Amino acid sequence: MRSRVISEPGSESASEHEAKRGRGSRGRGPGPGLDADWLRVAVGVAAWRWRRSWRSCARRGPAWPWPCSPAAATHKGYEGLVEGGENIKQANWLSVSNIIQLGGTIIGSARCKAFTTREGRLRAAYNLVQHGITNLCVIGGDGSLTGANIFRTEWGSLLEDLVKDGQITEDVAQKYCQLNIVGLVGSIDNDFCGTDMTIGTDSALHRIMEVIDAITTTAQSHQRTFVLEVMGRHCGYLALVSALASGADWLFIPESPPEDGWEDLMCERLGETRSRGSRLNIIIIAEGAIDRNGKSISSNYVKDLVVQRLGFDTRVTVLGHVQRGGTPSAFDRVLSSKMGMEAVMALVEATPDTPACVVSLSGNQSVRLPLMECVQVTKDVQKAMDEKRFEEAIQLRGRSFENNWNIYKLLAHQKPAQQKSPFTLAILNVGAPAAGMNAAVRSAVRIGICKGHTVYVVNDGFEGLANGQIHEVGWHDVAGWLGRGGSMLGTKRTLPKTCMEKIVETVRKFNIQSLLVIGGFEAYEGVLQLVEARGQYEELCIIMCVIPATISNNVPGTDFSLGSDTAVNAAMESCDRIKQSASGTKRRVFIVETMGGYCGYLSTVTGIAVGADAAYVYEEPFTIHDLKANVEHLTDKMKTDIQRGLVLRNEKCHEHYTTEFLYNLYSSEGKGIFDCRINVLGHLQQGGAPTPFDRNYSTKLGVKAVLWMSEKLQEVYRKGRVFANAADTACVIGLRKKAVAFSPVTELKKVTDFEHRLPQEQWWLNLRLMLKMLANYQISLTEYISGKMEHVTRRTLSIEKGF
């Protein structure tokens, strides 16, 4: 049987759904990264299966105990499925090579009214049977996926009708009696319940934040107010996260219309902001924003309101389809690659009793969910909004959406604490600078002030703490920090053991009762040293928390560190340009060195995001025989139409096989076939403005860390003093699989390789299987761990996720 992939973003598959949603001036269409990744995976896995012989399986162990099946792609979505003919084409390895950096969908998408009718689905069934296709991977929104499920439900009766009409025989109908469906959610609105992120959302946020950052500079220069309208007819996710990541002054989303009289309150707050010396105001509005009576709130109405009441120079910017275009972000490229691989595995493993499922993201895990359960909950959200049950609508969006909304309201405007607390909090950055540090400091400072704490900031890390470089900070002192890269506080790698007595003296002098350390491996190691010194210094019996922030992503206790997403995007953008250069000159291989110390996360994830031919990392030892095999692989590749190569090397992956050695080896062995160049990316991976992911993640971790510390302070506060010596009073906060967790540093010490500054177990090593498969290496997928089938309920939606 054959498999095929449909790109059907935005087409509605049920006539009633089409009528309900209507058609606005901005019809839904493809977003960045829609098929550039999952199509490669689907074709790659299918082609790999086709290529593998049972002889090689017997030699290396059975990797795929299923029939081989090539892949096909249908152009123009359901319309192509109904029309058939040249719209359904077999895809091969080369046809999906060099597309990972392209936005939109190379196989096209179109709305199709014919597919909403049984006659249209009958023609589609005939075309599938003619091509021997019984596995469908459909990418789109809830309407498209609902249509796919209807198609699957009717499949048997459709074949019966084809037999009655004499278009196919009984034998053919029996042969193709089972249709398997797997859905992938492609929507920049992130409006599909059951998944943390849909394909295209992160890239759309990149486009929005690029515009906001650019507008901020002109707004400050001319002292203007800007009203930005972003997409989101029925879902305010883009507006919400954009506001959270930019520190917008006011926000309108359809899930939570403003209370009556909002005009007065908004103008009052904008006026207060200007009176404190701010030279700009940012208002973000989702295109579907409404008031409590269901009346639309337009961006022009908001602009006129500000001009008439405050007299501010105000401009409107409607982003429109800018949000759909452009190069996919690294997050979207890796996400869609993972989803595509999981979708193919789900189709391969499907049985007649397997329900149609959708592949989704939960934390950093791929999971399978019953398609119609997700669709039903998604419809429940709209129903709740239509019936003005807005609080319920926010809850149905999921706990992450609800927390984003609550955090935005906490941080956007200062609210006086209910009472002054007796506690003090000091915040510092440690280690190398990483994007997102400033956003974490901002949210931590502001939530600390909301809780009534006295908040200090420390310059230059533990060294600054030892030297007394500490001062109290206020709400407005951290304004504008969200989009800034590096570390505004300054950061150094100095560890406490070199200046312990001075640190203790500073802690005593300023009566510091809790310490929030934002940084990399040095931050974790430094807090561990402070905890181990508690027995000697009673002043160190305070609450301590580490927010991991390093481009290396090598801190134990978390799957993602602040700054790592920004670093991957920086490396990816450089590699995209390098690939373009190599494609232009032909027969050229680039050896690119990335940072990361001994940790190969940056090389591996960047390698997946750019379609690298190999990525050498310390965690996966390699020999000269492996290098020889890689050279031979590239030699074979030069005989195809893709005459360029890209090899990534983590800076400390091998003591002897240096970047220079690899260059000499590839140059010598490839002489006459290809030439080589070296590119060391260096510290450009540390610079730049934080990505939307890092801004949002930093903000949430800063809030969660201070809330946790506040709870712990209450627990250990006795007779007017804080005394904390339990293991769980000094933790690392981080995303672990599906949820944010606090891990005691003393427990993490047991699973840490201090010599190489690495956790002993690293989740991302599972991604290397996909990296090699996408590079067209013969591999065994026996180690691949398939996603589990889970269910979507109100309870599962209430679980807090990292995104």
Identify which has the larger pLDDT, 47 or 265.
Answer: 265
In a domain, 61, yes or no: no
User: Is residue 457 located within the same domain as residue 546?
Assistant: yes
User: Is residue 522 located within the same domain as residue 594?
Assistant: no
Provide the mean pLDDT of the chain: 88
User: Is residue 651 located within the same domain as residue 705?
Assistant: no
Instruction: Reply yes or no on whether the pLDDT at 93 is more than 90.
Output: no
Helix (H) or strand (E) holding 365: strand 365-370
In a domain, 56, yes or no: no
- pLDDT per position as a tens digit, 267-279: 999 998 888 878 8
In a domain, 8, yes or no: no
Q: Sorting pLDDT into bands at 50, 70 and 90, what band is 46?
A: very low
CATH number at residue 604: 3.40.50.460
Instruction: Reply yes or no on whether the pLDDT at 36 is more than 70.
Output: no
Q: Which of 33-47, 52-66, 360-374 has the lowest mean pLDDT?
A: 52-66
Residues with catalytic roles: 189
Cα 644 from Cα 633, distance rounded (Å): 12
Q: Sorting pLDDT into bands at 50, 70 and 90, what band is 43?
A: very low
User: Is residue 554 located within the same domain as residue 444?
Assistant: yes
CA angle (591 as vertex; 432, 92 as ends), nearest 5: 115
User: Is residue 353 located within the same domain as residue 440?
Assistant: no
- pLDDT per position as a tens digit, 724-758: 999 999 999 999 887 899 999 999 999 999 999 99
Q: What's the domain range around 340?
A: 41-48+69-197+328-381
Q: Can you point out the beta strands (E) in 687-751?
A: 717-718, 721-722, 730-736, 739-744
User: Is residue 138 located within the same domain as residue 190?
Assistant: yes
User: Is residue 468 located within the same domain as residue 586?
Assistant: no
Please give the pLDDT value at position 310.
93
Instruction: Reply yes or no on whether the pLDDT at 798 is more than 80.
Output: no
Q: Which H, E and C letters describe 210-248, residue by residue?
A: HHHHHHHHHHHHHCCEEEEEECCCCCCHHHHHHHHHHCC
Share above pLDDT 90 across residues of the chain, in percent, rounded to a whole number: 68
In a domain, 273, yes or no: no
- pLDDT per position as a tens digit, 517-576: 999 999 999 999 999 999 999 999 999 999 999 999 999 999 999 999 999 999 999 999
Q: Which of 167-181, 217-231, 320-334 has the lowest mean pLDDT?
A: 217-231
User: Is residue 512 located within the same domain as residue 631?
Assistant: no
User: Is residue 520 located within the same domain as residue 375?
Assistant: no
Segments in 35-131 forming alpha helices (H): 38-51, 54-60, 77-83, 118-130
Cα 646 from Cα 40, distance rounded (Å): 17
Mean pLDDT of 133-149: 89
Identify which has the larger pLDDT, 286 or 779.
Answer: 286
Q: Give the residue from 686, 718, 751 where a domain finishes.
A: 686
Please give the pLDDT value at position 32.
62
Q: Give the residue from 652, 670, 686 where a domain finishes.
A: 686
CA angle (754 as vertex; 753, 760 as ends), nearest 5: 15
Cα 631 from Cα 269, distance rounded (Å): 63
User: Is residue 657 located within the same domain as residue 698?
Assistant: no
Cα 389 from Cα 382, distance rounded (Å): 10
Q: How many domains does the chain have?
A: 3
Please give the pLDDT value at position 362.
84
Q: Sorting pLDDT into bands at 50, 70 and 90, what band is 48?
A: very low
- pLDDT per position as a tens digit, 112-133: 999 999 999 999 999 999 999 9
User: Is residue 355 located within the same domain as residue 498?
Assistant: no
Q: Sorting pLDDT into bands at 50, 70 and 90, what band is 6?
A: low
Instruction: Reply yes or no on whether the pLDDT at 366 is more than 50.
Output: yes
Asked if 33 contacts 186 with a C-beta cutoff of 8 angstroms, the reply is no
Pairing of strands 752-753, 758-759: antiparallel
In a domain, 143, yes or no: yes
Would you put residue 801 in left (φ > 0), alpha (ψ -120 to 50) or beta? beta
User: Is residue 591 located within the same domain as residue 643?
Assistant: yes
In a domain, 98, yes or no: yes
Instruction: Reply yes or no on whether the pLDDT at 37 is more than 50.
Output: no
Segments in 413-510 forming alpha helices (H): 437-450, 461-466, 500-509
Full DSSP string of 644-680: EEEEEEETTS-SSS-HHHHHHHHHHHTTTT-EEEEEE
In a domain, 318, yes or no: no
Q: Sorting pLDDT into bands at 50, 70 and 90, what band is 9?
A: very low
Using a CB cutoff of 8 Å and minimum separation of 24, what contacts does 494-497 make? 494/461, 494/462, 494/463, 494/466, 495/462, 495/522, 495/525, 495/526, 495/529, 496/462, 496/466, 496/526, 496/529, 496/530, 496/533, 497/529
Asked if 691 contacts 569 with a C-beta cutoff of 8 angstroms, the reply is yes
CATH number at residue 494: 3.40.50.450
Asked if 36 contacts 99 with a C-beta cutoff of 8 angstroms, the reply is yes
In a domain, 405, yes or no: no
Asked if 562 contacts 437 with a C-beta cutoff of 8 angstroms, the reply is yes
Q: Give the residue from 381, 402, 426 where a domain finishes.
A: 381
Please give the pLDDT value at position 795.
63
Instruction: Reply yes or no on whether the pLDDT at 603 is more than 90.
Output: yes
